[in-house]
Amino acid sequence: MTTSPSRLALAAALTGALTLGSGALATGTALADSPARSAQQSAHRIPFTAATVTQQADGSFRLDWTAPGTRKVTVYAGTDRDGIRHRTPVARGTGSATVAVTGLAAADRWFFELVPDRGESLTVADRSLHLASAPNFRDAGGYRTADGHWVKMGEVYRSDDLSKLTDADLAKLQRLGIRQIFDLRTPAEQKTAPDRVPAGATVVNANVLGVADTGAFNVTSPAAAVQAMIDAERVMVSAESAKSAYRGVLRAADDRHAILFHCTAGKDRTGWANAALLTALGVPRSTVDADYLASNDYRAAANGAILSHLPAPYQAIYKPLLDVRPEYLNAGFDEVQAKYGTFDHYLKDGLGIDTHHLRSRLLAG
């Protein structure tokens, strides 16, 4: 089925028009790979098959990990991912453990280095940056690949729009080292809700839709709204403007500075960008799906606020445009198969991406 950028604009219109910027907070986790990979991982340099960091409401942290064949793990914490000192452990555990870390001072972000008694260490953090002004702002990394590597954290970030960032948020992003920001929105969206960006960061206009505005929204049933989102996902694979935008994002991810990409809600145009990145890095499809669907959790309060301002008969029609659903992402992968045969061919022929360099830059282990 052939779709046009205007259909994508149609599907994007409601979110762009109704996003209210609710101050919801969400936590992020590093998802486990399939248990079937455990035997393969046992011989890998990083022995961890799962690792999760979740910041609690009281400022403490919960850490969960699994490292088959490991008897002891020592945990160190630091605010500099590459400069964690091994002076005083903040926790210890066995090869499979859940621990609580308390008493850490307030900081932009805490990183935790899990040091096993055999094999290489793994550094992870809570995926969420806990920005009330951008609830879907999160780290794109922290996932395990099918062959046992891990996507580095602190290198690539994804978000909803940045128009409501506070001065404190901007200072935090500057200290995180974000130097390039890809704005995937249309010019009209940018004008309506202009980004606030940290000092020293360069903004790249990467309009996925390739049109001036998102256009008018005009669907009359939940089924029509779902179909509009499915059609939109296909366009994000096939449209020349989309390929140009995602080519820029993935090439910049290979740079030595941290980058950020975002759209209005941080779930559709941004969701495909991250799905493409993670797939290029070798992250299993099940993990890619979970990362994509996590926008429903990060944006739950914001979406609830949007729906609460609509008349009851319209809520069922509009909800599919606020959601991310498996069938939406499936449509993107189906379009890749229909147009390119394989995802590798999509990356190479459609986007012109060298996955070898990308993986050497962003993978640990």
Instruction: For 19-134, list the strands marked E by DSSP.
Output: 50-55, 61-66, 73-78, 91-93, 96-101, 111-116, 122-125
Quickly list H helices, 201-261: 222-238, 240-252
Q: How far is residue 230's CA from residue 323's CA, in Å, rounded to a whole number? A: 12
- Burial letters for 144-173: b for 16+ Cβ neighbours within 10 Å, e otherwise? bbbebbbbbbbbbbbbbbbbbbeeebbebb
Identify the helix (H) or strand (E) that includes residue 203: strand 202-205
Q: Is 263 a catalytic residue?
A: yes
With contact defined as beta carbons under 8 Å apart, do 321 and 14 qualify?
A: yes
Which helix (H) or strand (E) is 178 found in, with range? strand 178-183
Catalytic residue among 26, 115, 250, 263: 263
- CA distances, 91 to each of 112, 142, 196, 204 (Å): 10, 20, 38, 41
Rounded to whole angstroms, how far apart are CA atoms 198 and 251? 21
CA distance 8 to 263: 13
Residue 161 · residue 19 · CB < 8 Å = yes
Catalytic positions: 263
